[in-house]
Each structure stands twice: as C-alpha cells, then as structure tokens.
C-alpha cells in the first residue's frame, strides 16, 4: 500500500485519536504518504472559533511531529473543507489559516443536514431522488468554485441511503450530473478521490464504485488519489491494497498526492516490489 490521504483525528468533531498516535500508526503501516485532513465544515459543523482553533491545532501538531521525527512516510497536513459554498467568506478564511499540504473538498449534505443523520426508512422514493439530485448539483457547484485539490467521496449519500437503510437507488438517473461533474474536475485538474471507507461499512464498496471509476477513466480522468477516511486508528489504510489493484485493472498507472498544494504522483506498481522511499 502506498498512500492514505484522507484521515481524521480528535480535531474533527467525530474523531477521537491523538495526532501523534495517528502519525505513528501511519509509519507503522508502512505508508509512503499520509495526510491528516480534519473536518472544516461550512454547514452543520462547529462554530467558526472552534473551527479555527481545531484546524490550527491539527495542522500545527502534524508540523511539530514531522520536525522532530525522521520517517520514510511523508506526513502531510490538510483539511477536509465540507460544503464550502454554504459560507464562502469563511471557507476563504479557513483556506488562508495555515499553509496546508492538501485541501480536500467534499459535500456532505443536500443543503439540509448531513446524510449521516438522515432517516431514509421514512422517506419516499421521490424524496430520496430529489435529495440525490440536489446533492449532485451541489457537488457541481462546489467543483465550479474549485478552490480545493481533491474531490472526496462523490457517492457519500449511498453510504447511508443504500448501505445503512438498504434503499434502492438507480444511479443511472444521476449519470448526466456525474458526467458534468467529471468533466469539470478533469478540466480544472482536481483529483478524484477513491474513498475506501465503504469497504468496511455496510455498503461494502469504494466511494465511488468500480463502475463510476471506469466512467471517469473513459471520460479522460487520470488523476486519482486514495483515502481511508479513518476516524479511528484500527481502520487507517483499510482496503488500500485491493483498491490499488482495482485501479491498476481499470488502467490507472499512478496515484496523486499533494505537498504545499502542489501535485505529486507515485506509480501504481505493486507496493510489495517498491521499497524506495518517496
Ligand atoms: Zn467527508
Ligand atoms: Zn472525512
């Protein structure tokens, strides 16, 4: 396994691990690149002062740790900027708060609450359809704004709607919106994340899944990164090896990561054969 560029610590409202413990585990796992990307949500999240304090602490602790440790793993600091269009002035302010290595953009809502809190057993099919349509429109809006390096988990609602509540979703309905989304990020050079969290959750698949990754590839998308979205140490880098293999099968030849918000790439050859540090 090579990289894991989406992780959380106790500086996220839903995280619990101390930063040094997370970084030490990244090294123990043999990762070549690791990024801590605590939540910086512009909707339904913490108040701005808490956000400023938590993000500053998250970044500063990574910088402090890497200044005092020698390691073969590149330890990167970043944020997961959630639903940026909900508060663009604050989003801009947070982007300037620290010199991040990487900024992940993500959408967690259809404009209401996070899908995490939704009760999808109590919604009619048409309501779910309307919510997912809004979700993809919001991702398009966020991608057009585009002040981030990576677009995270583009099928996030399915983790809950399909995984946790077992509702049937016809993804064909959203393919025109997803194609538009792909075209925007390809044109802007924003990297698509393969989020492996679904492999350890009820949905049992990567976010996005193989079919959508093939669709992205077929439209010319070649920029791809990997994130476990771990909020606890035991699931860091979960499912990375098989996801790398899936990417190789689709035709991807390298994975992307960022330092000082500049893109770097690692060849997607088998990590078992590749012992060279970055
Ligand atoms: Zn997220
Ligand atoms: Zn996350």
Binned at pLDDT 50, 70 and 90, residue 270 comes out as: low
DSSP code, position 233: G
Q: What average pLDDT score do residues 4-20 get?
A: 97
Cis peptide before 208 (omega within 30 of 0): yes
Per-residue confidence (pLDDT) for residue 274, from 0 to 100: 46
Query: 249 pLDDT exceeds 50?
Result: yes
Gap from CA of 108 to ligand 1 centroid (Å):
6
Task: Please give the model's pTM, rounded to 2 decimal places.
Answer: 0.95
Q: Give the pLDDT confidence of 29-50 residue by residue, as tens digits.
A: 999 999 999 999 999 767 999 9
Query: 278 pLDDT exceeds 70?
Result: no
**What residues have their beta carbon closer than 5 A to ion ligand 2?**
80, 229
Q: Is 213 within 8 Å of 194 (Cβ atoms)?
A: yes
Gap from CA of 214 to ligand 2 centroid (Å):
23
Gap from CA of 87 to ligand 1 centroid (Å):
17
Gap from CA of 148 to ligand 2 centroid (Å):
14
Cα–Cα dist 79/150, whole Å: 11
Q: Give the pLDDT confidence of 66-115 residue by residue, as tens digits.
A: 999 999 999 999 999 999 999 999 999 999 999 999 999 999 999 999 99
Question: Whose atoms come closest to the Cα of 8: which ligand?
Answer: 2
Task: Classify residue 217 as exposed, middle or buried by CB count within 10 Å of its CB (0-12, 13-18, 19+).
Answer: middle
Gap from CA of 276 to ligand 1 centroid (Å):
31
Q: What average pLDDT score do residues 195-200 get?
A: 98
Gap from CA of 8 to ligand 2 centroid (Å):
7
Strand partners, 265: 256
Gap from CA of 55 to ligand 1 centroid (Å):
15
Percent with pLDDT over 90 in the chain? 95
Q: Which residues contact 179 (CB under 8 A, 6 or more apart)?
A: 215, 219
Gap from CA of 267 to ligand 2 centroid (Å):
25
Give the 3-state secondary structure of residue 114. Answer: strand
Fold of 3-270: TIM Barrel (3.20.20)
- Name the residue among 219, 261, 278 with its Cα closest to residue 105: 261
Task: Classify residue 34 as exposed, middle or buried by CB count within 10 Å of its CB (0-12, 13-18, 19+).
Answer: buried
Per-residue confidence (pLDDT) for residue 164, from 0 to 100: 96
**The two structure tokens encoding residue 259:** 């330092």
Gap from CA of 136 to ligand 2 centroid (Å):
18
Gap from CA of 4 to ligand 2 centroid (Å):
12
Q: What average pLDDT score do residues 165-178 get?
A: 97
Gap from CA of 7 to ligand 2 centroid (Å):
6
Instruction: Return the beta strands (E) in 73-213 as ranges.
Output: 74-82, 102-106, 150-151, 191-195
Question: Whose atoms come closest to the Cα of 116: which ligand?
Answer: 1
- Give whole-number Cα distances, 138 to 1, 63, 275, in Å: 32, 33, 41
Is the dihedral angle over the CA atoms 265, 245, 103, 27 positive or is it negative?
A: negative
């Amino acid at each position: 396994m090579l990289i894991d560029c989406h992780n959380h610590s106790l500086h996220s409202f839903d995280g619990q691990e101390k930063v040094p413990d997370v970084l030490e585990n990244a090294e123990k796992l043999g990762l070549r690149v690791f990024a801590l990307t605590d939540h910086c949500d512009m909707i339904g999240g913490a108040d701005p002062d808490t956000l400023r304090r938590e993000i500053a602490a998250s970044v500063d602790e990574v910088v402090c740790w890497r200044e005092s440790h020698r390691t073969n793993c590149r330890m990167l600091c970043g944020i997961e900027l959630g639903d940026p269009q909900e508060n663009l002035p604050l989003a801009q302010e947070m982007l300037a708060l620290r010199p991040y290595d990487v900024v992940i953009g993500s959408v967690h809502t259809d404009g209401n609450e996070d899908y995490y809190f939704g009760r999808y057993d109590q919604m009619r099919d048409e309501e779910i359809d309307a919510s997912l349509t809004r979700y993809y429109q919001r991702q398009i809006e966020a991608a057009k704004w585009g002040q981030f390096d990576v677009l995270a988990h583009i099928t996030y609602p399915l983790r809950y709607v399909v995984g946790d509540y077992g509702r049937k979703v016809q993804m064909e309905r959203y393919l025109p919106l997803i194609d538009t989304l792909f075209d925007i990020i390809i044109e802007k050079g924003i990297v698509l994340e393969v989020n492996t969290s679904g492999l350890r959750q009820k949905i049992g698949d990567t976010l996005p899944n193989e079919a959508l990754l093939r669709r992205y590839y077929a439209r010319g998308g070649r920029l791809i990164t990997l994130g476990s979205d771990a909020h606890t140490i035991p699931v860091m880098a979960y499912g990375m090896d098989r996801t790398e293999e899936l990417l190789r099968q689709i035709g991807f030849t390298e994975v992307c990561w960022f330092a000082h918000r500049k893109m770097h790439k690692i060849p997607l050859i088998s990590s078992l054969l590749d012992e060279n540090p970055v």
